[in-house]
Chains A and B, each alone.
Chain A
Amino acid sequence: MKLRIKFEKADPVKYISHLDMMRTFERAFRRAKLPLAYSEGFTPHPKLTFSPALSVGVTSSGEYMDAEFYEDIPAQEVLSRLNSCLPKGLKVLQACNSDGKYNISQVNAALYTVTITGNFIKEDIVKAVQELLNQAEITVEKVSKKGIKKVNIAPMIHSIEVLGNNADEILLRMKIAIGQEGCASPDMIVKALGKPLSKELKIKHIHRKELYFIKEGNAMPPL
């Protein structure tokens, strides 16, 4: 039996890497005595598949995993038993049978909220966002192990909204592409926004709200 489980990665655990988080869940399943299925062979691995990695330092209320069990177990029980065995900051929110659902690794878009601070007024940002969305090409530099690469992230931005502001903070909501077929990151976008303003915008906090599989213009959340 396969379950798709939605979970949150809150402030106390936001510095944990993707790999460390996977190990943390494997141990939590064992503490919870859940019948998690394992692969065969000399080094058996738990049959857990996670949604694309969240950057270190980013919180999320929309992370997912697919867990395979060797015997049937009610989703509600999985949630309550897991939650009693998880470290502070990790919490499973929802679970249901994942039969017939698209594979979690196919997720290709994410909705973020980004809190930025700096010496600016809201109108500046609204204007910068408008201009950015009108550009056909937004070139940013991506640093990887192979060196610096120039990429056009314009096609990877689905939407950017400027939400409320209080004092010197502004909240942005952005839906952007993630995954194998090209991805953007909130950092890149904020950097691009700051460029025409010739001001450095400081990111205070990034939060991932939800993931989607966008196919032919349809955005489908995993659950």
Chain B
Amino acid sequence: MEINRWLEENLLKVSKPTRYTGNEYNSIHKQVEKIKVHIALAFPDIYEVGMSHLGIKILYHMLNEQEDVYAERVFAPWVDFEELMRKNKIPLFSLESRTPLKQFDFLGFTLQYEMSYTNIINMLELSGIPIFAKDRSDGHPIVIAGGPCAYNPEPLADIIDFFVIGEAEEAIFDIIDTYRNFKKEGMDRKKFLEQVACIPGVYVPSLYDVSYNDDGTIYKIIPKKCGIPHRVQKQVIRNLDEAYYPTKFIVPYLNIVHDRAMLEIFRGCTRGCRFCQAGMIYRPVREKSVGRLTKLAKNIIEQTGYGEISLASLSTSDYSSLKELTEILTDEFRSCNVGLSLPSLRIDAFSIQLARKVQEIKKSGLTFAPEAGTQRLRDVINKGVTEKDLMSSARDAFLCGWNSVKLYFMIGLPTETDEDIEGIAKLAMGVVDVYRSVKGSARGLRVAVSTSTFVPKPFTPFQWESQISLSEIERRQKLLKTLLKSKNISYSWHDGRLSFLEAVFSRGDRKLGKVLMLAHGKGCKFDGWNDIFSFEKWLSAFKDAGISPEFYANRERKTDEIFPWEIIDAGIDREYLLKEREKSKKGITTPDCRFNRCHACGIMRLKGGGFCEAQNKI
């Protein structure tokens, strides 16, 4: 085969050839001639990033359980490989069977990060698939997308045939069934799209008309045809404990970003941090049982041989039987040298005790995320952590032998002043003082402070807020840098220009498709990668398109504005978000509804109810 021979002649010329060779342990191989539905699961970043994404792993194994379905993987080729592909006119191909993407039935992109959108366009181009949905015809793959960024699908509305909103585990099989019929009956593509548009959770952007007000905001989004839903409701799994979860995970050869077994312990989070999109869109909270998790963990290690297993969720400490689970798992794995890692731990004594127990096997770093520098601002964002929590946790950690901690903050949060920035520095210095009081001196201590910039996200109480200007972002970063003087403290920050673009696309509308195409034309790709990102190219793309990025990033929205993403029903009520926004302005916190009363976020009413445990409490 052409691609095989080409690979043989070219793989030694590129960095990390195993990004492109496949054949990893547990990868699935089927005969392409014998299957009916061929799906390429595409991740618009390199292998090491895409292979670390849990969602794509679940889909891969779940889809391949079906005998007549073949799901394969494809990642964005790194620039050196892409250059060779273009030079030799090699089309983008799948990892397993090395089939050109053009020949697939479906091409499904995971939307994890706004700044990977240009990579989607680049991958379509490398595949020889028309980039705009309107230019694709019956012989082309159906290009679909899902993942967190699909909650505002609009910037990609011209490119993607349809989006799957929410947890795809259920909708995907309805989609495949519809497709089998479509193939059997020889329907045309348009008809197929109209049919899938009626599957709950499916959004076909070409079937909707968007009209605008004179000021550029949205006037109306309406279906073009009768029978197409007015709003698309996100899909959720009712019983996560009984839901499919793979155990024969692919074991990569390369050292990928998260090179360990991942055990998902629950979905959703009800802490209610007001900046956090994940905390809103993944509701309700659904846990897996200790029994199921123990069995899964054992199977995963047996089938993969991984030396580390990580508990995956939005907030590990919130799993109701965490102590029991970690005790069982550490006992189970002690003899075979499998370490347990507990990411996203809350800042409290219980978590440190737990981390300490777990570290009996392997020692890794500790990360605390106070998010904001002062109590006032932490109340505004509803981050229920106090300075006392942080200091006593740090003390516990140092007493247990840790000598390095990471502190994670956001700058540019609504209402932030220089006093809050100074607060960040004070907290970091406070941690150094705690270490000194425990150990007598600050020798050997490393405190790594890192900041990202607040990006207002759809479906959060801050969705109406503006992002601070780029020059202001940079001023505050500089201010913090001058304040962090201790040699025990290092400071790193997320590029403000990237945060600005993230803010544009996270709340953008379908007019931005033009900007994406222009940016792609200027060579933008891998925008999340420092060494490739070119802000100048982006600015000139906006200029050429006649679109102001500030309109999206730096404009405070009126409370009655219709948002592009409101075509999606995330199960969270607008009234609840507004109420939370008002409370934030007054610095009033909202306690976690799992341990308090229900705050009527709306998720209880999803699909006629029965999803949220909170309803039992009223």
Hey, which bits of chain A sit against chain B, CB under 8 A?
Answer: 12-13, 15-17, 19-21, 23-24, 26-31, 33, 38, 42-44, 46, 56-57, 85-89
Is A30's CB under 8 angstroms from B305's CB? yes
Instruction: Find chain B residues with CB under 8 A from A23 CB.
Output: 253, 255
Nearest 3 interchain pairs by C-beta: A27-B305, A31-B305, A30-B305
Give Cα distance in the complex from A217 to B612, angstroms: 78
Is A27's CB under 8 angstroms from B306's CB? yes
Is A15's CB under 8 angstroms from B17's CB? yes
- Known A15-B17, A44-B337; judge A24-B253 contact (CB<8 A): yes
Give Cα distance in the complex from A33 to B335, angstroms: 11
B24 contacts partner chain A, Cβ-Cβ < 8 Å: yes
Given contacts A30-B337, A30-B338, 9 further A-B contacts (CB under 8 A): A12-B21, A15-B17, A20-B255, A21-B253, A26-B307, A42-B359, A46-B337, A57-B17, A87-B25
State the interface size on chain B (CB cutoff 8 A).
Answer: 26
Give Cα distance in the complex from A42 to B356, angstroms: 12
B257 contacts partner chain A, Cβ-Cβ < 8 Å: no
Is A89's CB under 8 angstroms from B23's CB? yes
Is B305's CB under 8 angstroms from A85's CB? yes
Whole-angstrom distance from the CB of B339 to the nearest CB of chain A?
9
Q: Which of A24, A56, A85 contacts B12 (CB 8 A)?
A: A56
Is B24's CB under 8 angstroms from A30's CB? no
Q: Which of B220-236 contact A (CB under 8 A)?
A: none
Instruction: Find chain B residues with CB under 8 A from A38 CB.
Output: 337
Q: Annotate B348-366 by CB proximity to A: 1 below 8 A, 0 otherwise.
A: 0000000000010111000
Is A43's CB under 8 angstroms from B305's CB? no
Instruction: Find chain B residues with CB under 8 A from A31 CB.
Output: 302-305
Give Cα distance in the complex from A38 to B361, angstroms: 12
Whole-angstrom distance from the CB of A149 to the nearest CB of chain B?
22
Is B337's CB under 8 angstroms from A43's CB? no
Whole-angstrom distance from the CB of B576 to the nearest CB of chain A?
46
Give Cα distance in the complex from A26 to B338, angstroms: 11
Instruction: Find chain B residues with CB under 8 A from A30 CB.
Output: 301, 305-307, 336-338
Whole-angstrom distance from the CB of B298 to the nearest CB of chain A?
12
Most chain B CB within 10 A, of A17, A19, A31, is at: A31
Instruction: Find chain B residues with CB under 8 A from A85 CB.
Output: 305
Most chain A CB within 10 A, of B24, B251, B253, B361, is at: B253
Whole-angstrom distance from the CB of B367 to the nearest CB of chain A?
18
Give Cα distance in the complex from A17 to B25, angstroms: 16
Whole-angstrom distance from the CB of B359 to the nearest CB of chain A?
8
Give Cα distance in the complex from A30 to B333, angstroms: 11
Closest residue of chain B to A36 (Cβ to Cβ) is: B337
Closest residue of chain B to A41 (Cβ to Cβ) is: B363
Instruction: Find chain A residues with CB under 8 A from B338 CB.
Output: 30
Q: Which of A21, A27, A29 contacts B251 (CB 8 A)?
A: A27
Give Cα distance in the complex from A85 to B21, angstroms: 20
Instruction: Find chain B residues with CB under 8 A from A33 CB.
Output: 302, 336
Whole-angstrom distance from the CB of A114 to the nearest CB of chain B?
15
Whole-angstrom distance from the CB of B84 to the nearest CB of chain A?
15
